[in-house]
Structure 1
Amino acid sequence: MVRQRGVTLIELMIGIALLAILAMAIFPLGRAWVANAQITKTEKEFLEAYALAKNEALRNPNAVQGSTAAATVEVKMDNTVAVMDSGANIIWSFEIPPTVTVTLSVGCDTGHQTIELNNNAYFLAESCTFYKVEASGGTHASGSL
């Protein structure tokens, strides 16, 4: 009597079906992990932009006074965040990933979301001091500046 070794077609199909079921269960977890990584990276860059704006406002190279903005952080509609000096020159900017949105407080104008800082690095408008970073499939990040 000869013993055959190997895998039958039925065993192979069962193995492939089990792998497919596992892959379908893991796929949403992978998508959430990528979304959360993008949220974390975007929040880190946004807070870095705010820190750069504070430094620029305290340096105050254009010697602005009073209620004039010495530095500005602007969340633009084209998915970029820009740090600008008092002359509206861009000092630093970064692109937000297409799946991520950054929004400022409800009181901010949706088309022109800005954080303006005076020469002492204080907010000129108190309505834009809260932020929210979110992406589909991930948990959102929010905070107060």
Structure 2
Amino acid sequence: MVKQQRGVTLIELMIAIALLAMLALAIFPLGRAWVANQQITKTEKLFLEAYARAKNEALRNPNAVKGDVKTASLEVTTTAVNVKDSNGVGIWSIDIAPTVTVTLSTGCTTGHQKVELNNNAHLLTGSCTFYTVAASGGTDATGTL
């Protein structure tokens, strides 16, 4: 009578581990792209919220600015998006993830981009109407203010 062995051999175990490693290497770039796209989506939502707050500040016009001059602004730097009133006082701010960049139209200055709004919440900076949110490995998000 021959005894049957139970369990797996070392070769079978090594093949299974090698197959799992290959699957993990194939899936890793997809996971990285998913994370980048989630960061882009989150940053775009926060950027649009900042723009909405700047428009609300411009319409509210707490400093009673009259005419076609700046009542609120939205400033984009490499690390943050800031909403400021007509006196340049910050009223709201968000931090940008280090892997994400927010850029406005090419007509804006690099490094310190600004959108200014009058007391009717109309853009005073006509060349800064388009935005792009990008991250390495993700799909860029673009839009119009």
What are structure 2's unaligned runs of at least 5 residues?
none
1:135, CA displacement in angstroms? 0.3
Paired position in structure 1 for 2:106: 106
Deviations 1:14-70 (CA, angstroms, capped at 9, x unpaired): 000000000000000000000000000000000000000000000000011223210
The alignment covers a number of residue pairs equal to 144
Paired position in structure 1 for 2:118: 118
TM-score (norm 2): 0.97
What are structure 1's unaligned runs of at least 5 residues?
none
Paired position in structure 2 for 1:132: 132
In the aligned structure 2, how far is the partner of 1:113 from the partner of 1:96? 14
TM-score (norm 1): 0.97
Deviations 1:51-101 (CA, angstroms, capped at 9, x unpaired): 000000000000112232100000013x10000111111111111111000
In the aligned structure 2, how far is the partner of 1:72 from the partner of 1:28? 38
Misfit runs of 4+, over 6 Å: none
Paired position in structure 1 for 2:12: 11
Q: Percent identity?
A: 71
The one-letter code matched in structure 2 to 1:4 is: Q
Paired position in structure 1 for 2:33: 32
SS in 2 for 1:97: coil
CA RMSD of aligned residues (A): 0.7
In the aligned structure 1, how far is the partner of 2:30 from the partner of 2:108? 34
